[in-house]
Structure 1
């Protein structure tokens, strides 16, 4: 019997134990932590873009505060089907290639690669803005050099072989969840009495705009805001991409992880949109919309006469900014995996399929990292521009994935008794 000593933990590991992988793999909670940073951090730029798109008609935020969580659960239900059909991972690229054909797979894979480039760009831009919201407004003009510096640092640490570690990610992730649950929960409870007034204002606003502009205007405005907030949904495909690293049984673990991810994203994104309306939040120079909201929620927070509201808002913004930087790093290290899958199918040079080759991985990191810097410079680091590009690629991937599932379940209508429900979801 062969044994390997792990002196740090003072215990032996039997390398012939068939359950070794199960013991070391990610459980649903740790998978949520490891794969959820991209999705949860999108609450820093998705909901603000939705609310900004409704300027002058903010009462419509009520519909989007309800519709965004519902659509998150619909998309997650679709990706649960992907997990069940493809338990070895692969996500949107593999789904489109298998169920729709190689050309659809090429489009989906290309959209995913661009999506990860934009993940790095928009996460760094949004993270820098979040942290600069804690500084004097004069610092805001320096955001572009800071964005580039952060991306160069992420490129450097990945070239050195450093990957995301659960030891680093867990405290940042849990700090983000903990601070946001407290702040958003407190904000909702403190203004719960305003709900009837908000409901009346929504009805009055709909009646006024429908008579003045017509129903097409209202529907178009809602759909435009929904589309500009498409970045909110990014990261939902991460679980389907990474299901192969999860604890057995993979399908059940992956689907539980998807439930955790969808629930947490829905609660945070939906609450933020509703709270913007409750607190009548408007953008301020040098501050993000979330920073203004956190300041409004924590105003007057005291314990034994000590005013700690600004400190609570500051901690929340720091956790948000750090999680965004981790999400940017996720884009840089995940894109080469998609490129490797595409290289196997000859859409990219064959050498990109060898992820174990440090030279190939280095080229992938450099390509994604410097492409993100180029996009940041070209757009001036404006999140409002980046989010449009981001939304396009997010929806391309989702659309092809759900189209593939629809085709699959319709083709299985004679073999699967419950095909109608699955087809309806996709």
Structure 2
């Protein structure tokens, strides 16, 4: 039986506002958060106060949204933002996404190992195989086939790990009396190459307190499972219910076993979105307030497509007509549909149905701290996950509300630790020390 207090939590910071596109307009928030590193630091320090194991910053190297009335989704540069945060925090892990498709192994190895040394062993790399056409255009390229992108990713990760280990442990001597800074016999080229990539090395950066950064993965399909099984210690996932979450976690664990690894060292962290208030009704009102700062026209149409009926924005404050309810049905290919259908059949207005988060990419828990904790306990105890990637609806108060009201409940129930297990991300996660390419 696993240790209940080993629940892992990653707090996602995004562009500094929160997952909801209207969060930047919330009263009390900071509309400059995207460019204000002080806002990031405050959120990070709050998460660290709650003993949350890691921060996570997603990234796509392209402008993916219309900025007319909503902010970017990702930070200006996740590595620079985390470097700022590293200097203002002491324990919390620092995980960023960088693509294996539109980068070079040497640069990625250098950036992450430098962050790892600067932070005293708290860095993690979420390795993703970007397939975004806008990102490809930014690099004067085309999106490669899925097969090529994943073949390249294997070479990329292996080269990065080899570069991380090219400055051997004990190489830095710092012998002032003899005038010997480092032992060059322990700093060697890697001279590795494959079908797509190669690197000579070495990387001129010593190991950190955890050896090298922790690798994370966030990709689907069999190819993603292989990357996770071979290299990852953390996997960001997007199941919508417990059965699919349990099935996915088991596939990840089986992949780890297939490649000779201990499956307990691969932590699966599905995302979810908490909207916290003192009552469930107040939480729904909070979500309606956030929705009021965005254009819901597209969401109304999406809900209609999900239920197989035409919906008009003009009817957003009315329940579905009896005629439409007669034809509405849950899409068997969409795990969100049954919940949407249930709420529609209760006679809720379209606005209220949307406020329950039925079309969000991750599950939305709008309610009291106890309800959020109940959701987390049910998933975790059932074996559906090893923890969660938290995406606050609005970060300026969502992070502190989670830390101040949900974390104590999880701790009281024996689900979450009361202090960090050590000083490094590997110690926080309970994964083994690694330095260099695992052979």
Range class of TM-score, shorter chain: under 0.3
- Structure whose residues are more often helix by fraction: 1
Higher relative contact order (CA 8 A, sep 6+): 1
TM-score of the superposed pair, with normalisation by structure 2? 0.24
- Structure whose residues are more often strand by fraction: 2
TM-score of the superposed pair, with normalisation by structure 1? 0.25
